[in-house]
Amino acid sequence: MFGKGLFKGLHISLKRMLGPNVTEYYPEQKPNLPPRVRSSMGLDPDKCISCGICANTCPNKVITLTSEKGDNNKKVLKTYQMDVGRCLFCGLCTEACPTSALTVTQQYENAVYDADELQWDMIKRHRHQTGKEG
């Protein structure tokens, strides 16, 4: 019968109208992201052996790092810059890192007002974060 579909639709939308909502009240209610989510990068400078694999793996040349010779000829990380504005957050770098110094983190509120703020100094960020935690 013509019109049956119309009433079916009305029935569905009324049912949903009276039913519960499925959305999240975002800023008050933060999502619980699974641990694999690639929304930010974090570096643990103590673990890093300055091998540069991460920088080589990156398809977009996001990472630049410098190191200097420390005692008993081991490389010590000096600077570690990420140009996150160009980062694809693909996770190839963290996958390649042999010591898991570079990891993905679930911090997703990355918006900034200025493009310059997208140049992340990873060592500083690490210090900042651990400082806050400790």
Partner 1 sequence: MTLERTEELALNLGPQHPSMHGVFRMVAHFDGEIITKIDPKIGYLHRGLEKLAESRTYAQFIPYTDRLDYLAAPHNNMAYVQAVEKLANIQIPERAEYLRVIFAELARIASHLVFIGSLALDMAGWTAWGYCFRDRERILDLFEMTAGSRLTVNAMRIGGFSQEVPDEFWPALKSFLDDLPEMLEEYQGIFYGNEIAMGRMKSVGILTKEDAANFSTTGPVLRASGVKHDLRKDAPYGIYDRFEFDVPVLYGCDSYDRGLIRLLEIKESAKIIRQAMRDIPEGPIMAKVPKVLKPPVGEVYHAVENPKGELGFYLVSDGSTKPARLRIRSATFINIQLLPAISPGWKIQDVIAIFATLDAVLGEVDK
Partner 2 sequence: MDALNKLPLNIAAAIRGLFGDPHSIWADLTMTVIGIVLVIVLIVLAALILILLERKIGGWASQRPGPNRLGPRGWFQTIADALKLLGKEDVTPAEADRFIFKIAPMIVFALPMMTLAVIPFGMGMVPIDLDLGIMYYLAISAISTLALLMAGWGSNSNYSMLGGMRAVAQMISYEIPLIFSLLGVVMITQTFSLSKIVEAQSTIPFVVIQPIAFVIYFIAGIAEVNRAPFDLVEADQEIVAGPFTEYTGLRWGLFFLGEYGNMTAVAALITTMFLGGWQGPGFLPGIVWFFLKVGIIIFLMMWIRWTFPRMRIDHLMGLAWKVLLPLSLLNILLTGLGIYIYQYVLRIGG
Residues near partner 2 (CB under 8 A)? 6, 9-10, 12-14, 16-23, 25
Q: Which does 34 bind (CB under 5 to 8 A by kind): ligand SF4, partner 2, partner 1, none?
A: partner 1
- Check: CB of residue 85 under 8 Å from CB of residue 115: yes
Find the binding residues for ligand SF4 in span 36-65 (CB under 6 A).
48-54, 57-60, 62-63, 65
Taking CB atoms within 8 Å and a gap of at least 24, the contacts of 74-81 are 74/49, 75/49, 75/50, 75/51, 76/50, 77/45, 77/48, 77/50, 77/123, 79/121, 79/123, 80/43, 80/45, 80/48, 80/121, 80/122, 80/123, 81/119, 81/120, 81/121, 81/122
CB of 106 to partner 2, least distance (A): 25
Q: Which is nearer to ligand SF4, 91 or 125 (CB)?
A: 91
CB of 107 to partner 2, least distance (A): 24
List the structure tokens of 64.
């630049």
- Is residue 88 within the footprint of ligand SF4 (CB under 6 A)? yes
- Is residue 118 within the footprint of ligand SF4 (CB under 6 A)? no
CB of 56 to partner 1, least distance (A): 9
List the beta bridge partners of residue 41. Answer: 104
Q: Which does 19 bind (CB under 5 to 8 A by kind): partner 2, ligand SF4, partner 1, none?
A: partner 2
Q: Which is nearer to partner 2, 17 or 115 (CB)?
A: 17
